[in-house]
Every structure is written in structure tokens, then in C-alpha cells.
């Protein structure tokens, strides 16, 4: 049996914690408990990017999060009205304790998404970015 949920989210960072609560609730229902924090992390990173990209582009006031659950997996679509960006090329920043001044303070978000989800696919469709994230049940 397939179940679907869609949320329209205002482009403000304070809304991301609300999305996280919704995602956590769905995950607690359909995933093993130990998998929930990493899915929440991936969705927070994706939705934070959606807010930032969307607000920067200034073409809309919301982005959309779709959640689909079936027997095999949880699927999340983050559809946001920002400019195109390089998802596939982002790698985890290098961390070198011998180069304190060069330690990265950012750039972890997309690599974290890729690291914790079973599927993380980016597509540019028309003038929106669509990020598809899946976690097997």
C-alpha cells in the first residue's frame, strides 16, 4: 500500500525544524528507530538548501516536500525554485588536523545527504530543482 504526503514550506530557516518534526514522525512510523536520525539529517540539509536557494532566486515564497511510503522504501522529493547547482560534484571536504586554518566550516551538507541516504538524485526540471532521496525500509 502506498501513502503520500505533500508539504508546502515557507522559505524561512525557522520552518526547517517543523519539517524535521514531520519527517521524524513519518520515519518513526515506517523505519527502524536507529535509521531515523540520519534521514532527519538528510532532509534538514536538503530543506535548508531549498530555503537558501529559493530565497536567493526570489521567484517563489515556498518550496514543496513530497513524501511517499511503500512497502520497500520511503521516498522524499524536495522541489525548490532556486537556480541550478552542482549536486553530483560535491564531495566531503578534506579534514586535515595539520592545517587548522584550512579546516572547512561549510560544504558538508550535500556530501552528508549522499552518505546517509540509499538514493540521492538531483535533476533540473524547467526552472526548479528536484532532489529525490530514498531510504529502504
CA-to-CA dists, residue 27 to 11, 73, 99, 135, 137, angstroms: 23, 10, 39, 10, 9
Measured over the CA atoms of residue 30, residue 32, residue 33 and residue 36, the dihedral's sign is negative
Nearest to 57 by CA among 81, 33, 26: 81
Site for other proteins in 48-67 (CB under 8 A): 48, 51-52
- Asked whether position 33 contacts other proteins by CB under 8 A, the answer is no
The verdict on 38 binding other proteins (CB under 8 A) reads: yes
Distance, in Å, from the CA atom of 74 to the CA atom of 30, rounded to the nearest integer, reads 8
Among 64, 68, 90, 109, binds other proteins (CB under 8 A): 109
Q: What is d(CA 15, CA 104) in angstroms, rounded to the nearest whole number? A: 26
The pairing of beta strand 73-80 with beta strand 128-136: antiparallel
Scanning residues 74 to 103, which ones bind other proteins (CB under 8 A)? 92-93, 95-97, 100-101, 103
Measured from the CB of residue 28, what is the shortest distance to other proteins in angstroms? 14
In the complex with other proteins, which residue's Cβ is closer, 4 or 95? 95
HSE (CB half, 13 Å, CA atoms) of 30? Answer: 24
Choice between 71 and 99, CB closer to other proteins: 99
Choose one: 10-18, 53-61, 68-76, 118-126; the region binding other proteins (CB under 8 A). 10-18
In the bound complex, what is the minimum distance in angstroms from residue 2's beta carbon to other proteins? 29
Contact residues toward other proteins (CB under 8 A) are 13-14, 16-17, 20, 37-38, 40-41, 44-45, 48, 51-52, 92-93, 95-97, 100-101, 103-109, 112, 115-116
Amino acid at each position: 500500500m502506498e501513502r503520500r504526503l505533500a508539504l508546502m514550506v515557507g522559505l524561512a530557516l525557522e520552518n526547517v525544524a517543523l519539517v524535521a518534526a514531520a519527517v521524524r514522525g513519518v520515519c518513526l512510523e515506517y523505519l527502524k528507530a536507529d535509521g531515523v536520525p540520519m534521514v532527519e539529517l538528510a532532509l534538514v540539509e536538503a530543506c535548508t538548501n531549498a530555503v537558501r536557494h529559493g530565497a536567493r532566486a526570489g521567484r517563489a515564497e515556498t518550496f514543496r516536500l513530497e513524501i511517499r511510503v511503500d512497502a520497500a522504501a520511503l521516498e522524499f522529493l524536495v522541489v525548490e525554485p532556486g537556480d541550478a547547482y552542482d549536486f553530483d560534484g560535491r564531495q566531503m571536504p578534506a579534514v586535515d588536523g595539520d592545517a587548522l586554518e584550512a579546516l572547512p566550516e561549510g560544504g558538508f551538507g550535500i556530501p552528508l545527504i549522499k552518505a546517509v541516504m540509499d538514493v540521492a538524485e538531483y535533476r533540473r526540471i524547467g526552472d526548479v530543482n528536484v532532489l529525490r532521496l530514498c531510504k529502504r525500509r
